[in-house]
Amino acid sequence: MTETTKTPATPPADDATPAPGTRRGIIPLPLAAARALLLVGGIATAASTFLRWTWTSDFPGDLTVNGYPGGLQVLTLVAGLITTLFALATYEVRGLGWLVPARNNAPLVLTAVGGFAVTWYTVIAIAAKLGGIVNWEPGTYIAAVASLLPVIGALALPQDATDTTKEALKAYIAKAERVPAAQATAPWIQRLVITIVAALALTVFAYGIDAEDQLFVGFLIVVVFTAWALQTAGLFDRFSRLTAQNRSFALAMGFVAAIGFPFTQTNDHYANLGVNILIFGTVALGLNIVVGLAGLLDLGYVAFLGVGAYTAALVSGSEFSKFSGVQFPFWAAALTGAAASLIFGVLIGAPTLRLRGDYLAIVTLGFGEIFRISVNNMDGVSGPDITNGPNGIPSIPDLSFFGFNFGENHDIAGFTIGRFANYYLLMVLISALVVTIYRRASDSRIGRSWIAIREDETAATAMGINGFRVKLIAFALGATLAGLAGTVSAHVTYSVVPNPYQFAGAAPPNSAFLLAAVVLGGMGTVSGPFLGAALLYLLPEKLVALQDKSLLAFGIALILLMRFRPEGIIPNRRRQLEFHETGQLDVPDTTTLTDDPAITKAGA
Amino acid sequence: MRFGGLTAVRSVDFTVNAGEIVGLIGPNGAGKTTFFNCLTGLYVPTEGTVSYQGTVLPPKPHLVTKAGIARTFQNIRLFANMTVLENVLVGRHTRTKEGLWSALLRGPGFKKAEKASEERAMELLDFIGLAHKRDHLARNLPYGEQRKLEIARALASEPGLLLLDEPTAGMNPQETRATEELVFAIRDKGIAVLVIEHDMRFIFNLCDRVAVLVQGEKLVEGTSDVVQADERVVAAYLGEPFDGGTDDTTAETEAESTTGTTSTKGEAQ
């Protein structure tokens, strides 16, 4: 939330409201009491997880053990510890000042509310799942009360007085207006920080992907509130500045963390989720070139994934393939799939890219559906016999590199790497390639011309950019990358069928989900589509209760997101400025804010 | 150039020589901007051609720019969410040719070309006096600087002819004066300039020749004295004189009043 809340200049109408300028909390308590509540509450919440919260192990995660937290208790413990850390930071404990560099209240409020939310969610879930509050133990009551204390403490923290309670609450979660720049640190410290963050991110992701049902909801609560708190504290801004200074090191660490993921998993099912997220994310990043950079709304993008997958299936040597005698090695199949997508992209792009805006969206939507319907009909009955129609091409053999069979388990340094983990590692390489392509293309003459076309097509052509050609390159490049990812996805899923390659469906990938992943994560960024893909893939997978209402839930979530954070979770600098008129956000640190007179040395 | 039954610009013959500043004036709706759009290929002329240095230009904006005609727009059309430097770099598009492959492979040639482009862009930013704002987003520049940046972006394509569409609209007198000097400095680089403007003082100070466009047709063309003395021009701007006042005084008031309308117009944009 980058919107800043300002106190209106008008005098308060109500006599009861304090005079402007005084600082007080919503709950009238002295500052010392507020801080103490935060600290004590945080510690008590963390400590309460060592008690048993229920008497039966029917509740998932076994919360019945005294002295050892389990399941959702672990999340409460983590939330309590985070609250304690932030509370200690308000006491100016040495070495913790960096947690709240701007000394604003929002991080404290949000961590306290996060701890409260996850604890009470657990408490209520116990009662709901086991049928009544009789299933609560004394520890449950202690946890419920303890987690409430930091919230009271946080809301008692003093802040500038506002007219209404609503504004006061808004001010409590507002991001710090000015985050002081971090002290200069040695390069090795910066790299250490990046390494630690990468390791933490991997741990959090690995934990989340293993979590099921209630545990996953609790996980989401903790992660969302903690991330929100860190964002309002300005730590994300600091970290992104840090990664900007150590660009290649940060990318390398991200790559290492991604490779490390299968080694944290014992069950190959979770590696399956991982590889699907990666495929989904990589295709979304390809779409990001088309939508995020060149500004071409493509609603039929999933067709290119389908072209790649079908091409790879046809040349995979599957006995159901029309060309069952042909078995390309993977590199050749990948190139063929990418090339087929490229040709398909140019064929679709050439006639449609003369259109702009909504017209282009509708036409691409149509072409996307044409692909699926054609593939459905090429079964030898209503069309040429190529794709086996709705049956698709099953039993696609596993890949094999130099005797390394992707279908078998391998033991690497004591870790068992299963089938999906093998594909996951292959997909990490392909994602790294796509990320490199994206970054290099966007930071070049061609990337600038894409952005220029997005900003103002008329002006861009008047500056000498051949709009059609440049747009076609973006479209074709996006198609190629999707086709490349498609070749892997064909092998991962054993079979290709026409159904997933539709405009909208209940499960990813489909064009609507791909677009949603880009918009949700943040258009024009590299990490945004991956984050969006992970969320959109994991949520329907984990929240079984939502299954039949997942589209409704996504609709609501997208509307809320567009209302409160239209630039996506990870904002692109340009986008953020487009949506929030916050003035000089972009001013680089090195320049000053002085307003030079408009008449400078013209013609000098 | 016709739009349906409306003839916006009809048989306007126009020659601009190298190193010359030519003004194009006319009342609102006279077809000045339409004429520019025909020149730069944004509109395809219904009849007639545009030639530059003896070759007929195809009506494609990017080919026109490549041939050496660059323009600015009446209502500023910068790439608002790109930085000042990036805006100028986009202007360099036709003078560089690194494609997708070289961007992906990042060979030495790519780095050299990027560096050269950046140096050239910085020279231009120095020239217009915006070098210190290279990393600001274009949208955050004040109005006058946005106008200047648009000129720098046009200059980045190394044009032989620069078309300026109301470069001083909405500017205060000092800014107008600065723009005047900027246009002279551009002329001194050997670039021919064709400028549309409503500010008569600006036009008559600046231009070697002035052409008057009225209802899509060229009324007069000549030096400022010739144009100012022409009764038809006065009539086109102010209507027929009521009792035949002297030409000189009428021209003077006419210049005043147009200045007035221009600035209100600029504010509205």
Quote the number of domains for chain B: 1
> Which of A210-219, A268-277, A472-481, B12-21 reaches the highest mean pLDDT?
A472-481
**Parallel, antiparallel, or unpaired for β B2-3 and B6-7?**
antiparallel
Strand partners, B55: B52
Tell me, yes or no, whether A90 and A221 share the same domain: yes
**Residue from B42, B84, B93, B124 whose CB has the most chain A CBs within 10 Å, to mutate:** B93
pLDDT at A602 > cutoff 50: no
Cβ–Cβ contact A411 with B under 8 A: no
Boundary residue ending a domain (A214, A244, A274): A244
Quote the number of domains for chain A: 2
| pLDDT tens digits, A5-36 | 444 444 444 444 444 456 777 888 888 888 88
Residues on chain A touching B94 (C-beta within 8 angstroms)? 463-464
Helix axes A419-442, A445-455, angle to 10 degrees: 80
Q: Does residue B258 belong to any structural domain of this protein?
A: no
Which of A437, A464, A586 is the closest to B104 by Cβ?
A: A437
Contact B208, B21 (CB under 8 A): yes
Tell me, yes or no, whether A423 and A481 share the same domain: yes
Q: Does residue A573 belong to any structural domain of this protein?
A: no
Tell me, yes or no, whether A141 and A285 share the same domain: no
Residue of A nearest to B147 (CA): A598
**Parallel, antiparallel, or unpaired for β B55-57 and B50-52?**
antiparallel
Q: Does residue A218 belong to any structural domain of this protein?
A: yes
CATH of the domain at B34: 3.40.50.300
What range defines the domain where residue A459 resides?
Answer: 265-394+412-548
The HSE-up count of residue B180 (CA atoms within 13 Å, CB side) is 16
| pLDDT tens digits, A410-450 | 877 778 888 898 899 999 999 999 999 999 999 899 999 99
Within 10 angstroms of residue B52's Cβ, the number of other Cβ atoms is 16
Average pLDDT for chain A:
84
Tell me, what DSSP letter sits at residue A290? I
- Give the closest residue to B148 by CA, choosing from B177, B123, B119, B128: B128
pLDDT of residue B154: 94
Q: Does residue A477 belong to any structural domain of this protein?
A: yes
Tell me, yes or no, whether A288 and A200 share the same domain: no
Within 10 angstroms of residue A537's Cβ, the number of other Cβ atoms is 24
As given in the structure block, the two tokens for residue B89 are 């770099």
Cα-flanking dihedrals φ and ψ of residue B210, to 5°? Answer: -130, 135
| Type and span of the H or E element at A587 | none
- Give the closest residue to A318 by CA, choosing from A371, A248, A395, A255: A395
Cβ–Cβ contact B118 with A under 8 A: no
Residues on chain A touching B137 (C-beta within 8 angstroms)? 574, 577, 586
What span, in angstroms and rounded, lies between the C-alpha atoms of B241 and B224? 21
Q: Does residue B211 belong to any structural domain of this protein?
A: yes
Within 10 angstroms of residue A365's Cβ, the number of other Cβ atoms is 19
As given in the structure block, the two tokens for residue B169 are 């609209």
Tell me, yes or no, whether A237 and A274 share the same domain: no
- Give the closest-approach CA distance of B219 to chain A in angstroms: 28
Q: Does residue B128 belong to any structural domain of this protein?
A: no
Q: Does residue A402 belong to any structural domain of this protein?
A: no
Cβ <8 Å between A461 and B139:
no
Contact A296, A290 (CB under 8 A): yes
Tell me, yes or no, whether A269 and A236 share the same domain: no
> A216-220, A234-238, A410-414, A512-516 — which is least confidently predicted?
A410-414
Tell me, yes or no, whether A276 and A201 share the same domain: no
Q: Does residue A257 belong to any structural domain of this protein?
A: no
Cβ <8 Å between A600 and B130:
yes
Q: Does residue B252 belong to any structural domain of this protein?
A: no
Cβ <8 Å between A441 and B104:
yes
For the full predicted model, state whether its pTM sits above 0.95.
Answer: no
Q: Does residue B98 belong to any structural domain of this protein?
A: no
Which of B71, B106, B117 is the closest to A462 by Cβ?
A: B71
Contact A491, A405 (CB under 8 A): no
Cβ <8 Å between B71 and A578:
no
Q: Does residue B175 belong to any structural domain of this protein?
A: yes
What span, in angstroms and rounded, lies between the C-alpha atoms of A268 and B65? 58
10-residue stretch averages of pLDDT, chain B, 269 residues long? 77 81 88 87 84 85 90 91 92 88 88 92 93 88 91 93 90 89 91 89 88 86 84 77 47 32 27
What span, in angstroms and rounded, lies between the C-alpha atoms of A6 and B111? 46
Tell me, yes or no, whether A293 and A157 share the same domain: no
Boundary residue ending a domain (A189, A209, A244): A244
B22 in helix, strand or coil?
A: strand
Tell me, yes or no, whether A157 and A292 share the same domain: no
Tell me, yes or no, whether A324 and A435 share the same domain: yes
Q: Does residue A18 belong to any structural domain of this protein?
A: no
Q: Does residue A582 belong to any structural domain of this protein?
A: no
Q: Does residue B79 belong to any structural domain of this protein?
A: no
> A176-180, A206-210, A288-292, A442-446 — which is least confidently predicted?
A176-180
Tell me, yes or no, whether A240 and A177 share the same domain: yes
Cβ–Cβ contact A439 with B under 8 A: no
Which of B42, B89, B140 is the closest to A462 by Cβ?
A: B42
What type of residue sits at position A591?
Answer: T
What span, in angstroms and rounded, lies between the C-alpha atoms of B81 and B78? 9
Tell me, yes or no, whether A325 and A382 share the same domain: yes
Cβ–Cβ contact B226 with A under 8 A: no
Q: Does residue A404 belong to any structural domain of this protein?
A: no
What span, in angstroms and rounded, lies between the C-alpha atoms of A601 and B12? 37
Residues on chain B touching A467 (C-beta within 8 angstroms)? 62
What span, in angstroms and rounded, lies between the C-alpha atoms of B166 and B268? 14
Whose structure tokens read 């009662």?
A: A127
Residue of A nearest to B82 (CA): A574
What range defines the domain where residue B20 resides?
Answer: 1-8+16-68+159-241
User: What's the whole-number mean pLDDT along residues A115-125?
Assistant: 92
Cβ–Cβ contact A465 with B under 8 A: yes
How many residues in chain A?
A: 604
Q: Does residue B36 belong to any structural domain of this protein?
A: yes
Boundary residue ending a domain (A194, A213, A244): A244
